[in-house]
Amino acid sequence: MSETIEETALSIRAPRRSASLRWLLIAAAVYLVLSVALWWGIWSASPGSTSVCGCGDASRFLWFLEWPAYALTHGHSPLYSAWLNHPTGINLLNDTSVLGLGIPLIPLTLLAGPVLSLNVALLLAPACSALAMFVLLRRLVSRPVVALVLGAAYGFATFVLDPASAGQLNLAFIALPPLMILLADDLLRYRRWPARRAGIVLGILVAWQFFISPEILLIFAIVSVAGLIPLVLVLRADADGSARRHLRVAGAWAAGTALVLLAYPTWFYFQGPAHLSGNIWGAEAKIWRWGTTPQSLVWHTGSPYGGAIQRFFGAIGPEMPSYSYLGLGLVATALLGLVLCRRDRVLQLAMGVGAAALLLSLAPASVWTPWSTLRHVPFLDNIAEYRFTVVTLLCVIVAASRTVDAGLDLLAAWRPALPTAGISAVGAGLCLALLVPNMVTVAPVVPLTTVPSTLPTWFRVVGAHLPPGQVLLTYPAPLSGLQASQAWQAKNAMRWAQAGVGGPAGTHARAGSVAKGHQLINDAAYLFAPSPQLIPAWVLDVRFAIHTWGVTKVVVPDQEQLGPGARARSTAWAVGFFTTIMGSAPHRQPGAWVWPVTSPLPAVSSGLVARYQVCRTHPDVPVASMLQCLSPGLAGS
């Protein structure tokens, strides 16, 4: 008899597992097709040489994907590099280094280069995020089609598309939080997994998220305080203590696993070489100023950066919708669920946590908001508060899916003769209908804009064959925010080290003794300010920075060759600026003007500085005319 019962149980379980696997494969295929359509400009052209932009933040992420492959094959640490910000280097854990993606992609990077790795990561970011949400929703709703459609609402939300358009993988890849919540749900409600296995997997997910985005991990950790309510309820209802034992064992294994995986990286983050302390961007950055407003959840307000600044960050297409946009249909359905599903504790918890995250995301304004106080707390001041909306997004989708599923239950009870397939079709139609505002909002920017990602002539012809030990100061320098030179360095397999760096390590507040030279080199390329003037003392400041950084060559590539978002001021203007700094005319090499750095550099006369002040007012002349304009000063030096 026991054998018959066991055989029956196995026969019931097998079709269920088969159906779950079938739906998982369907969801993966659907999301992958949607992601290919999103990135059609890449996958319909040349995935190895086309990407979002060889500029701005996209250049930084190309570099971050190349470095782990280079470090692995050359015996360097994947957590630190002196190939940027030479000679100080950068602590990659203090930056958006996405080692949690770069390390798994090492084989592809070594085989095909960082451009293809970035494109694969950008392809997988929305697809994997949607698939993870689908897996979570399959636990929370009874109809796979509801999970399928609303999973896409998470993976292809504007919170993902906005950073993806600029190559910002640390924000675009949000696949792990739904899986963490799935494990927490299992621990609290079902306990299907053994406590040890659940704890180990949860610890691995926490560590993995740390290596993708510590900021997103911290955001979910902060908001999870609101999720302690179900834990209290479970423990109060635990008559025999089994739930307490299960949670205690799982928690211990999770904490232990995370501690083993993150002990050294956490030390490295706070105390490792070139680590950053205090506000990571400096107080002047005011990263909190881009918070959300309640109306931005249902109204397309545009990217917080604005068109010009957005392009400066590397998003070269049309202005993206707001990252906080959820859509009127999703929000209204979730709110309706609070009325119609008053006994649904999962829905109530989701809306409560989502509301808490929304409050934390509000921009400090004339009225008090929670972040007005929290942004002054050490370490929390490194969070951009608008990113709390990722939690609101997840919670609203969970609440909306529970509402739709409850409505379909009512329909099935009202029309018991209606076949299951018919109810599923109604569910799919309802979900697609409530996503119409979202689809209308993102339609103008889909497919996302892509451009060829090519090396300028000098870096392809000369840079690829530089001898070891070279340190370049390029124009534009990466510290200006125009960070295309990081992409050139990555695509040339780190053939040289580079003065300057984008990101938090490249701020003026961290420039130290070379702050004035740093500022002038930044202003030389920064298009949102007037071209800098020079006086003899400032020329010496720039020279001091060049020597301190150990620069061996100053390279000004022909700006006309550079793609959109990578160009700074005209080639002639840049040649005039660096001719004045270096005290000599440059050498012409294929596609660039180059100054070798000697010690000492030629003396600079006051006459040359005076000539620069005159010549810089004519930035669009040919380079030969600029050099001719400066020649009286050069001749007298």
Burial class (CB in 10 A: 0-12, 13-18, 19+), 416: exposed
The residue ranking higher by pLDDT, 454 or 249, is 249
Q: Where does the pLDDT of residue 315 fall: very low under 50, low under 70, confident under 90, or very high at 90 and above?
A: low
Q: What's the whole-number mean pLDDT along residues 547-558?
A: 97
pLDDT of 284 over the 60 cut: no
**Which of 51, 84, 50, 57 lies closest to 70 in space, CA to CA?**
84
Q: Mean pLDDT across the chain, nearest whole number?
A: 89
Q: What's the whole-number mean pLDDT along residues 189-210?
A: 93
- pLDDT at position 306 is 52
Q: Which amino acid is at 356?
A: A
Q: Say which residues have a Cβ less than 8 Å from residue 89's Cβ, sequence separation at least 6.
A: 80, 81, 82, 83, 273, 274
- The two tokens of residue 358 are 């929304």
The residue ranking higher by pLDDT, 415 or 238, is 415
- In DSSP terms, 498 is beta-bridged to 472
Instruction: Kindly report, residue by residue over 237-278, the tens digit of the pLDDT.
Output: 665 677 788 888 999 999 999 999 999 999 999 999 999 988
The fraction of the chain above a pLDDT of 70, given in percent, is 91
Q: What's the whole-number mean pLDDT along residues 416-431?
A: 90
Q: What's the whole-number mean pLDDT along residues 71-96?
A: 96
Q: Where does the pLDDT of residue 11 fall: very low under 50, low under 70, confident under 90, or very high at 90 and above?
A: very low
* Least confident among 9-13, 87-91, 186-190, 357-361: 9-13
Q: Where does the pLDDT of residue 337 fall: very low under 50, low under 70, confident under 90, or very high at 90 and above?
A: very high
pLDDT of 366 over the 80 cut: no
Q: What's the whole-number mean pLDDT along residues 30-56?
A: 92
- pLDDT at position 1 is 39
Instruction: Read off the pTM.
Output: 0.92
* Cα(490)–Cα(330) distance, integer angstroms: 41
Q: Which amino acid is at 399?
A: A
Instruction: Kindly report, residue by residue over 123-147, the tens digit of the pLDDT.
Output: 999 999 999 999 999 999 999 999 9
The residue ranking higher by pLDDT, 165 or 369, is 165
Alpha helices per DSSP H over 272-419: 307-312, 328-340, 345-361, 370-374, 389-414
| HSE-CB of 425 using CA atoms within 13 angstroms | 5
pLDDT of 10 over the 70 cut: no
> What count of other Cβ atoms lies within 10 Å of the Cβ of residue 264?
11
pLDDT of 14 over the 80 cut: no
Q: Where does the pLDDT of residue 3 fall: very low under 50, low under 70, confident under 90, or very high at 90 and above?
A: very low
The fraction of the chain above a pLDDT of 90, given in percent, is 64
pLDDT of 323 over the 80 cut: yes
* Cα(483)–Cα(568) distance, integer angstroms: 10
- pLDDT at position 246 is 85
**Which of 518, 513, 517, 514 lies closest to 502 in space, CA to CA?**
518
Q: What's the whole-number mean pLDDT along residues 86-93?
A: 96
- In DSSP terms, 474 is beta-bridged to 555
pLDDT of 293 over the 90 cut: no
Burial class (CB in 10 A: 0-12, 13-18, 19+), 280: buried
